[in-house]
């Protein structure tokens, strides 16, 4: 792969998206940085001759197609797609309005599908490319108060794990990035986080306590988004993307414990599971 490639980064107006765009530029790449407000994106990332800021609402398939066209007009190709944009509808299942649950899926799941669908024909024509999608530890392990968010991220994980088979014959590689707790704007109310607005009395006290705990965590997360962005750029530049990159010691520890639990569950019911097959001769 060429040392100087064209990156297309969604959600580049804040948090991890800014860091990814800046690190890719610092590595000598061209960057198409997208967000709802391109002027704000340009200001956040910083002026650079290799930067193109483009308006994009990832839930709008037509807007995704136009953004991809703008990228090709400016740089001639797209080599690395980073599906980073997303948000967080928090709450217990019965506290989340049905339209909010659907909105969570539209942004976190169908949004990346819209963008990838717009860019894949470009990569297939090139017979090369990388699709990097930021999911979450919540896409591997269910957690309290994140039922909608986890559903959207689990969906992304399944899509990415299967997409690799579709695109590998065209020289396109995929990687899911699964961060633990990083100091981004994900927990900033009004920016990326939407607290539940339905009141079910049985959940009221737990909801109050959990919102206070999550709010107090904002700005205290241990993960450094600048280091995560640098790691993503380094993995991309290596040309050898892992299927998944579990990011942060908290994420690794949680997933290692989860894998141990899964193995214990397999072993505990191994005989029962084996017994479910037809008897020989049937």
Residues known to be catalytic: 149
HSE at residue 160, side-chain half, CA atoms within 13 A, is: 32
Among positive and negative, which fits the CA dihedral 131, 111, 18, 189? negative
Q: Are strands 172-179 and 244-247 parallel, antiparallel or unpaired?
A: parallel
CA distance 39 to 55: 9
- Contact criterion met (CB below 8 Å) for 160 and 135: yes
Residue 238's CB is within 10 A of a number of other CB atoms, namely: 10
Closest CA to 10 of 79, 74, 85, 114: 85
Rg, Å, the chain Cα set: 20
Is the distance from CB of 27 to CB of 52 less than 8 angstroms? no
For residue 39, give both structure tokens.
């002027």
């Amino acid at each position: 792969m060429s040392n100087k490639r064209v990156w297309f980064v969604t959600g580049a107006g804040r948090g991890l998206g800014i860091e990814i765009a800046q690190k890719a530029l610092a590595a000598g790449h061209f960057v198409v940085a997208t967000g709802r407000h391109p002027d704000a994106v340009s200001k956040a990332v910083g002026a650079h001759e290799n930067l193109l800021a483009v308006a994009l609402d990832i839930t709008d398939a037509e807007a995704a197609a136009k953004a991809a066209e703008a990228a090709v007009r400016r740089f001639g190709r797209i080599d690395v797609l980073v599906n980073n944009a997303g948000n967080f509808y928090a709450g217990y299942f019965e506290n989340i309005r049905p339209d909010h649950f659907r909105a969570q899926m539209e942004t976190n799941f169908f949004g990346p599908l819209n963008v990838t669908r717009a860019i894949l024909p470009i990569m297939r024509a090139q017979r090369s490319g990388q699709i990097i999608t930021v999911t979450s530890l919540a896409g591997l392990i269910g957690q309290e108060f994140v039922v909608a968010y986890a559903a959207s991220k689990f969906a992304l994980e399944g899509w990415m794990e299967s997409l690799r088979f579709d695109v590998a014959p065209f020289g396109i590689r995929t990687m899911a990035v699964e961060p633990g707790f990083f100091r981004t704007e994900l927990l900033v109310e009004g920016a990326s986080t939407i607290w539940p607005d339905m009141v079910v009395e049985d959940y009221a006290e737990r909801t109050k306590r959990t919102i206070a705990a999550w709010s107090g965590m904002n700005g205290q997360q241990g993960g450094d988004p600048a280091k995560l962005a640098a790691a993503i750029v380094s993995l991309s530049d290596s040309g050898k993307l892992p299927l998944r990159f579990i990011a942060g010691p908290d994420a690794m520890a949680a997933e290692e414990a989860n894998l141990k639990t899964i193995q214990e569950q397999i072993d505990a019911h191994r005989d029962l599971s084996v017994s479910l097959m037809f008897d020989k001769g049937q």
